Amino acid sequence: ETMLGGDLLNQIVSVSFAMRAYNSSFLGLYNACGTFAESLLVGSCLIDGGYKNNIVCISGSHFSTAERQYRYPLELGVLRSPVTQWTATGSGASILSKDKMGAICQITKGVAGRVVDLGIKDVNNMGAAMAPAACDTIVQFFNDTNEKIQNYDAIFTGDLGKLGKKILEDLLKDNNICFNDKLFDCGAMLYKQEQQTFQGGSGAACSAIVFNSFILNKFKEKQYKKILLVGTGALLSPLTSFQGESVPCIAHCLEVCSCC
């Protein structure tokens, strides 16, 4: 019936142009790298409210286009910072449906995040900028739901990268939350060490790729019963960076449970 989604290019042109091939209604969304989680959150609300029966949620990103738009042209050969991440090329889509027949898992709870800005201006260090937003949303989720950490098999953040994940762990400990070995980052999972992507992957594709492959397979194999997906996004643009602005960030949290 309806498609929800976005990408990282100006005016979300990638997904908008792709929708020309379909007759479904389309709602374009943008929360940077948190767009996939945003689409799942909005789509779930539309179905739960009785407004729609079937929704496709999609997001994606591309390495070369993101580098050109947000950083430097590849031809310039600029050296990369050790704290930088590698924008993932890919796309992922999930079908949300009121009909539970054949469903692998279901979205049962969610928290829409707040914009958090701690004044970080280094556009190469997205993990450090986004970690406080992820912490804020996770803390809010547990305060709102009174859930226990031991009830979850895993917690996945979107694209904090290796450094951002470590910062998040420290911030959560300050709030008396410790996931131990249950915390994973989709961006950090995408690449091997020998691929030299520094802190791992970033981009709107990260959470979409990992959720629709690795995580759903875990649910299929009954290795997961309940997880949290925390999509993270840095809400900056080249214009705001040129003006010396800091990087405001956001994170949305979704509880996903097995249907079995």
Q: Distance between CA atoms of 32 and 26, rounded to whole angstroms?
A: 18
**Is residue 156 classed as helix, strand or coil in its secondary structure?**
strand
Which pLDDT score is estimated for 196?
85
CATH for 2-258 is 3.40.47.40
Q: Distance between CA atoms of 158 and 40, rounded to whole angstroms?
A: 13
Confidence bin at 2 (pLDDT 50/70/90): very high
Which pLDDT score is estimated for 75?
82
pLDDT digits (tens, 9 = 90+) for 113-127: 999 999 999 999 999
Q: Distance between CA atoms of 227 and 41, rounded to whole angstroms?
A: 15
Residue 184 has pLDDT above 90, yes or no: yes
The answer to whether 55 and 95 have CB atoms below 8 angstroms apart is yes
The answer to whether 136 and 116 have CB atoms below 8 angstroms apart is yes
- Arithmetic mean of pLDDT, 18-27: 95
pLDDT digits (tens, 9 = 90+) for 196-232: 888 999 999 999 999 999 999 999 999 999 999 999 9
Residue 183 has pLDDT above 80, yes or no: yes
**Closest to 121 (Cα-Cα) out of 255, 209, 43, 234:** 234
Confidence bin at 30 (pLDDT 50/70/90): very high
Which pLDDT score is estimated for 204?
96
